[in-house]
């Protein structure tokens, strides 16, 4: 019997200010790469809660999602290393936009995050070879086009959070 396919669920904050997007630069097995503030959905949290947490952990900014930009499916082939075999990974990404809040200047950023930075669309296009995710640019383009869906589009049953 084949093992059930299980994509990795991730979230991303698509945060724009004056035509520039908040990104992170992070260490990866392929060197320093750019990404949206993003990460994996943890057990017991909704996608919105995961996005709030990931943006804070990776940028030290508080973030309040106000809309879903989109749901994206992508595939990544991770090369084998001395520590791990090659992996064929499919990601299901929920990308949210919202309001950027207070910055905790003394807060440490997540392990591997070197810095935060703001990039315009031209800069993102020019650095595409250094994008950790192929979705970085697509999410920003969808945001710039005004693509928005109500937060209620992503429903999380109370059973996930353990309320029932």
**Spelled out in words, what is the top-level CATH class assigned to the domain 8-148?**
alpha beta
Domain boundaries, the chain: 8-148
* Spatial contact of 154 and 72, defined as CB atoms under 8 Å apart: no
Among 102, 107, 100, 105, smallest CA distance to 23 is for: 100
pLDDT at 164 over 60: no
* Spatial contact of 13 and 21, defined as CB atoms under 8 Å apart: no
- Measure the CA–CA gap between 21 and 65, rounded to whole angstroms: 15
Tell me the pLDDT tens digit for each residue of 86-106. Answer: 778 889 999 999 999 999 999
Q: Label residue 163 by pLDDT band (50, 70, 90).
A: low
- Measure the CA–CA gap between 131 and 18, rounded to whole angstroms: 21
- Measure the CA–CA gap between 78 and 98, rounded to whole angstroms: 31
Tell me the pLDDT tens digit for each residue of 100-144. Answer: 999 999 999 999 999 999 999 999 999 999 999 999 999 999 999
């Amino acid at each position: 019997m084949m093992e059930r396919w299980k994509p990795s669920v991730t979230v991303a904050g698509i945060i724009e200010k004056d035509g520039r997007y908040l990104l992170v630069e992070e260490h990866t097995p392929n060197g320093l790469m750019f990404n949206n503030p993003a990460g994996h959905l943890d057990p017991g949290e909704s996608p919105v809660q995961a996005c709030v947490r990931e943006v804070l952990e990776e940028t030290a900014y508080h973030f309040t999602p106000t809309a879903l930009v989109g749901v994206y499916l992508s595939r990544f082939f991770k090369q084998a290393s001395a520590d791990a075999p090659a992996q064929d990974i499919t990601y299901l990404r929920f990308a949210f936009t919202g309001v950027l809040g207070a910055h905790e200047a003394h807060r440490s950023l997540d392990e591997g995050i070197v810095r935060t930075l703001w990039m315009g669309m031209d800069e993102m296009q020019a650095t595409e070879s250094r994008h950790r995710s192929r979705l970085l640019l697509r999410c920003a383009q969808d945001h710039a086009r005004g693509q928005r869906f109500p937060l209620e589009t992503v429903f999380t049953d109370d059973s996930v959070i353990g309320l029932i």
